[in-house]
Structure 1
Amino acid sequence: MTGEISGAVTTTADPAPLRPMALLRIRPFAVLYLNATVIGLSVMAQTVARSWLAFELTGSNAALGGVLLAFGVAMLVMTPWGGVAADRLPKRLVLQVSVGLLAASSAWIGLAAAFDVIEYWMLLGASVLQAVAFAVFGPARMAFLGEVVPRGSLGNSVSMLLVNNELSRVVGPAVAGVVVGAVTVGIEIIFLSSAALLALGVLTTVRMPPGLPSGDAAVRSPLGELTDGIRYVLRSPQLTALLWCGFGVTMAGLPYVAFLPTVSSDLFDTGSAGYGVLSATAAVGAVVVGLLMGRRRHRGSETRTFVVAGVVFGAAVGLLAVAPTFWAAVLVLLVVGAGNLAFQTANQSLLLGLSDMAYHGRIQGLVMMSFGAFGIAALPLGALADAVGLRWVLGGMGVATLLVMGAFVLVTRGRLAREDVLRDLG
């Protein structure tokens, strides 16, 4: 695992990746995929409802950012420990506990809304609970892949799970936007239905293998496990570069999702239904690209995919700032979703392929810290948007994303050149 990135992605090193239907015939992966579907639908639907509820309660971009700030701080603190849990404990147990927490956070807000006692601070508390749950769920789910699918198919399996997430983003936000806008008790329906689906998600994990830890994890302290994982990453320039680049792009570009309610209501006057359309549109672009990536028979230059996707994502976020009409924003968001999905797929595939299985959970925990960081960035960006205008902030986010990708290319340009040579020889 100490070789160059190119050594992990040349087509001669691994057998041809399995296609989606072949992967789904692997029973543990099929169960993991079904579990992700149930969780994705419920979480994405309630995310739309919670953002809209926060906007109704406060009417400010800063408040929208505050919900993500609570999520981000908790994620930033807990995700490294979630990675330790994924490597140290049975992964099935980790999944069950985390999905149970997600169900509890959904039920809490649903009941508070039903009894008309909902307050803004409750949304902050629910965001913290959800962040803790994701902090342990995400690393365990991704680490499971190294155990249940062939190594040469890791990229396609990652792509399938990410496409699954984006399909959930198509169905969940679209349904939530319509229900919230058309039904008086739409908020309550979304949250309580999500809690029921998440309870079902806990049941689906019973059919999964236990995912027992490997190596000597049981004889080290959790802090020792975390320290060992960080040292492992720092010993590899390739892993380090992929992690800081993923962190930077996610923190700079992904906060656009926090501002979609304002894009819909303030920029284009389309309300909650328009918010659902915008959220679903980004997911549609992601699904199309993800399905194409999942059908690849050869991985080719994964690093080149990583770079191109990051540049496309950053440029599209910048274009969103100057979209003149609602339908122009819809077209731009197709590209935003496609670029983000391709970037995240390539990043996860490279990280899994370059690391030892015993460290997969901790590395995924470090990856997910970036999603906590984007939540933290959303609050100051939201306050800045209130002060200078949302379009200026979106434009700056796009430029910042492009600068991060430019720095990655400069740092890794020698490795990228060697990868191209090896790919041509292969």
Structure 2
Amino acid sequence: MTITPSQRSAFAARTFAALRHRNYRLWFFGQMVSLFGSWMQTTAQGFLVFQLTGSPAYLGYVGFAAGIPAWALTLYGGVVADRMPRRTLLIITQTAQMALAFALAALVFSGIVQPWHIVALSFLLGIANAFDAPARLAFVRELVDKEDLTNGIALNATMFNLATTTGPAMAGVTYTLVGPAWCFMLNGISFLAVIGALWRMRMAPQPVAPRSASAWRDLREGLSYILHEPVVRTLIALVGATSCFGISFATLFPAWAVRILGGDAATTGLLQSARGLGALLGALLIASLGRFQFKGRLLTVGTFAFPTLLIVLTFTTWLPLTLVLLTASGLAVILIMNLANALVQTLTPDALRGRVMAVYSMVFFGMMPIGALWIGVIAERAGEPTAVISGALVVLGVAALIRLAVPQIRKLT
């Protein structure tokens, strides 16, 4: 069957609908450059920690330190995101993250870096993320029309995973050729792209929720909404379980590359890139569907496919097959995360979006360090494959429970 030019044009317009909005275009390309640098740092930092300590458990400690502020501060970050212009808040948080990247680069360049330095800087980065994440998630709605929200979220994931595909591979090469410090330096420089994009935006006035007597009262309002909306509550719980028991397997990539696959820093980069490639394909798939009406069914497919692929992954030591399975798992997990995000934002009133997305962020990012901690400890004691299988079985059980107890999830459009 021949595809006509008009059909190709319609497909492109549907897939990249959010890019019609000028502010979103600035955000998309600025954030993509920044994320490229962030993934270079994430990959290089993990391998540096493993080189310094030789311990998969210490990889978990670093992840845990980064996530502590998510539990302590993200909910308050959501209140702040509803009380002040989100663009202003994002400029502040992105600048703070840039400064931390330069600090880590300086420590490594000087030759004095110690594992505890990385733990401390990860903790400070977690504080910045606690305020950045809810504002960033809610900010998309200010950049596109409501009809293009799902597409905008999908394209957000596209840029994130395009960076995930290329950033780790480049980090592996850079680490091998000139050392980890340049990975951290390039990350710091990359933040200039998103900060510049935020400054250039022309924002329409946004309604700001009226301030109550206390932040706690604002927070309770958001929590009450979630507790009384079973579908929203279930979607957030699904994201938390996937983050803690599924996505946490990526913490072990440096150890997996060395101990299971007999590789090095470049192998670690390939593992991250394969996962990112799959997520990129998944995000493009969602974007290409346009304003489709079967989000719940596609989400359900992802909840079962992702843990199944992780279990299969543990039975191979051949790098090419490992990369194929990681690509497939990346596609499956993006179906969960993107569609859950889009559905929660669609169901949430505008005035509560910052606070609800703060809870979403806290659960997503807050469960990561717990997942990193437990999977690192289990891997240390029972081996990496056992740790990954254990988490995958939990995610599979949660998927089955939701399928039985909350069947209306499948009907969401």
**Structure 1 length as normaliser, TM-score?**
0.90
Shift of the alpha carbon at 1:219? 4.0
The counterpart of 1:234, out of the listed 222, 227, 234, is 227
Which position in structure 1 is the counterpart of 2:3?
none
Which position in structure 2 is the counterpart of 1:133?
128
The counterpart of 1:402, out of the listed 391, 396, 404, is 396
Deviations 1:195-249 (A, max 9, x none): 1111342222101245766354334422222111111111211111111111111
Say which SS state the counterpart of residue 375 (structure 1) adopts: helix
Which position in structure 2 is the counterpart of 1:375?
369
Which position in structure 1 is the counterpart of 2:151?
156
Tell whether 2:322 aligns with 1:329. yes
Matches within 5 A, 1:200-279: 200-209=193-202, 214-279=207-272
Deviations 1:37-60 (A, max 9, x none): 122111111001110111011001
Say which SS state the counterpart of residue 173 (structure 2) adopts: helix
Tell whether 2:308 aligns with 1:303. no
CA distance in structure 2 between the aligned counterparts of 1:350 and 1:276, rounded to whole angstroms:
32
Matches within 5 A, 1:336-375: 336-369=329-362, 370-375=364-369
CA distance in structure 2 between the aligned counterparts of 1:160 and 1:325, rounded to whole angstroms:
32
Say which SS state the counterpart of residue 297 (structure 1) adopts: coil
Shift of the alpha carbon at 1:166? 0.3
Which position in structure 1 is the counterpart of 2:274?
281
Which position in structure 2 is the counterpart of 1:293?
286
Which position in structure 2 is the counterpart of 1:114?
109
Deviations 1:14-50 (A, max 9, x none): xx99724432121111122123212211111100111
Matches within 5 A, 1:1-150: 19-150=14-145
- Greater CA drift, 372-381 or 56-65: 372-381
Kindly provide the amino acid, as one letter, of the partner of residue 93 in structure 1.
Answer: T
Whether contact under 8 Å (2:209, 2:351) holds in the other structure is no
CA distance in structure 2 between the aligned counterparts of 1:205 and 1:215, rounded to whole angstroms:
19
Kindly provide the amino acid, as one letter, of the partner of residue 71 in structure 2.
Answer: L
Deviations 1:316-373 (A, max 9, x none): 1222211231222111101111011111111011001101111111122111222221
CA distance in structure 2 between the aligned counterparts of 1:332 and 1:22, rounded to whole angstroms:
30
Tell whether 2:171 aligns with 1:197. no
The counterpart of 2:379, out of the listed 382, 385, 406, is 385
CA distance in structure 2 between the aligned counterparts of 1:22 and 1:373, rounded to whole angstroms:
32
Whether contact under 8 Å (2:15, 2:289) holds in the other structure is no
CA distance in structure 1 between the aligned counterparts of 2:216 and 2:137, rounded to whole angstroms:
21
The counterpart of 2:165, out of the listed 157, 161, 170, is 170
The counterpart of 2:313, out of the listed 316, 320, 327, is 320
Sort the Cα spacing of 1:278 and 1:149 in 2 relative to 1 into closer, same or farther, 3 A.
same
Shift of the alpha carbon at 1:397? 1.1
Kindly provide the amino acid, as one letter, of the partner of residue 245 in structure 1.
Answer: L
CA distance in structure 2 between the aligned counterparts of 1:270 and 1:396, rounded to whole angstroms:
24
Sort the Cα spacing of 1:342 and 1:216 in 2 relative to 1 into closer, same or farther, 3 A.
closer
- Structure 1's unaligned 5+ residue stretches are 1-15
CA distance in structure 2 between the aligned counterparts of 1:177 and 1:377, rounded to whole angstroms:
24
Which position in structure 2 is the counterpart of 1:9?
none
Shift of the alpha carbon at 1:381? 1.8
CA distance in structure 1 between the aligned counterparts of 2:204 and 2:169, rounded to whole angstroms:
35
CA distance in structure 1 between the aligned counterparts of 2:250 and 2:349, rounded to whole angstroms:
33
Sort the Cα spacing of 1:216 and 1:372 in 2 relative to 1 into closer, same or farther, 3 A.
closer
- Greater CA drift, 359-368 or 162-171: 359-368
**Structure 2 length as normaliser, TM-score?**
0.93
Whether contact under 8 Å (2:261, 2:317) holds in the other structure is no
Kindly provide the amino acid, as one letter, of the partner of residue 380 in structure 2.
Answer: D
- Greater CA drift, 133-142 or 245-254: 133-142
Kindly provide the amino acid, as one letter, of the partner of residue 116 in structure 1.
Answer: G
Whether contact under 8 Å (1:112, 1:118) holds in the other structure is yes
| RMSD of equivalent CA atoms | 1.9
Whether contact under 8 Å (1:286, 1:339) holds in the other structure is yes
Sort the Cα spacing of 1:374 and 1:58 in 2 relative to 1 into closer, same or farther, 3 A.
same
Say which SS state the counterpart of residue 350 (structure 1) adopts: helix
CA distance in structure 2 between the aligned counterparts of 1:228 and 1:209, rounded to whole angstroms:
31
CA distance in structure 1 between the aligned counterparts of 2:204 and 2:68, rounded to whole angstroms:
29
CA distance in structure 2 between the aligned counterparts of 1:333 and 1:174, rounded to whole angstroms:
14
CA distance in structure 1 between the aligned counterparts of 2:99 and 2:133, rounded to whole angstroms:
18
